[in-house]
A = this chain, B = another copy of it.
Amino acid sequence: MTNRKPALAVVGATGAVGAVMLQILSQHADVWGDIRLIASPRSAGRKLAVRGAETEVLALSEEALEGADVALFLVPETVAAQWAPIAAAKGAVVVDASPAFRMDPDVPLVVPEINPHAMRVRPRGIVAGPGCTTLALIVAVGALHAEFGLSELVVSAYQAASGAGHGGVTALREQLSLVAGTELGTSPGDVRRAVGDDTGPFPAPLALNVVPWSGSVQEDGWSSEELRIRSEARKILDLPELRVAATCVRVPVVSAHSVSVHARFEHEVTVGRAHEILATSPGVVLYDDPSAGDFPTPADVVGTDPTWVGRVRRSLDDSRALELFVCGDNLRKGAALNTVQVAEAIAAEFTVD
């Protein structure tokens, strides 16, 4: 029996997702041999702690990827589009958190609680994970789908600033400092004037505000983030005809996305059965007792692994529809954790009899 521990490359180790990845790698059972940290040339030479050891960051290059068995890509879409195929050509299995390959028919889109089998077939040597908003809801919705048969989703997202990376968090914190202790927020544009023109990665101020836009402008008024939720949910659940209408709204929360979900099914639903399913599904925590103040909020679930589900209600006018409020840390399950779950399953392939 060979039992070689695979070598891991973390590409994008200095980013918002990268920082959480280093924490998770230090906490999880250690299945990795060498771990090397990679980012842009800007970060080369920085030292970051992983598994208790200070590790120097390398600039992304063909050389830096040499010998990696598994490469985690936690970098912007364009960087992943260019470099993931290079890493794959060098023999690494790539697990990519960016949108670059999610809809490529030759790249599986994997959420281990839902479609773990899909990662076994990877013609391009690349496995993708979905976006953070899809990940916030898909584990809970997938569990309900297995029992009731999903036919339609109407979702409204409450997206945290860190969904836009380190830059999003910095912008929110700076803006909050400008508005705290003031009487702003009561006349049109007063917050905008206080914050100034630099609203960071957001198209409007986020402090004392909500911003109904994330991603790029697509056809017919849709944003890229909204269309992605639709195409990713369809691919992961293997429901190519699933009806999905999504609205993405940024809220002044540091980390943890929330989603208000209206899910319609083929079969009649009951809250009781939905509770049973959610209470026993891996990766889901049911937290649903409003009379005791129990419902998930981002401030309470940030930094935790599971998808938290509360506010489960059956639509009063439709016995096949459920309303849910789900909350999950967009940097953990929404990105780093899902990536590492896939990578650890692949690492197990290196244990050969």
Contacts and interface: CB of A to CB of B under 8 A. Distances in A.
- The winner among A158, A188, A230, A245 for most chain B CB atoms within 10 A is A245
Interface in A263-322: 271, 288, 290-291, 293, 295-304, 310-318, 321
B313 A221 contact: yes
A191 interface: yes
Interface string A248-271: 010111110010101000000001
Given A173-B180, A188-B301, A192-B299, 4 more contacts: A190-B299, A221-B311, A243-B315, A247-B260
Interface stretch (A65-73, A74-82, A211-219, A344-352): A211-219
Interface in A147-205: 152, 154, 156, 158, 173, 176-177, 179-181, 183-192, 203-205
Nearest to A221: B313
Given A262-B262, A299-B191, A186 B255 contact: yes
Given A176-B176, A221-B313, A253-B210, A189 B299 contact: yes
A247 B247 CA distance: 14
Nearest to A314: B220
A209 B243 contact: no
A46 to B, nearest CB: 20
Interface residues of A, number: 77
A317 B220 contact: no
Given A158-B249, A181-B180, A213-B290, A221 B271 contact: yes
A349 to B, nearest CB: 33
B262 A211 contact: no
23 contacts: A176-B208, A177-B181, A179-B180, A184-B254, A188-B300, A190-B299, A191-B299, A204-B293, A204-B297, A204-B299, A208-B252, A209-B297, A210-B298, A212-B296, A212-B297, A212-B325, A217-B290, A241-B317, A242-B317, A245-B321, A247-B325, A249-B260, A260-B260
A217 to B, nearest CB: 5
Given A204-B297, A293-B204, A310 B185 contact: no
A189 to B, nearest CB: 6
A56 interface: no
Contacts of A32: none
A341 interface: no
Contacts of A253: 185, 208-210
A323 interface: yes
B249 A298 contact: no
Given A317-B245, A323-B245, A251 B154 contact: no
A223 interface: yes
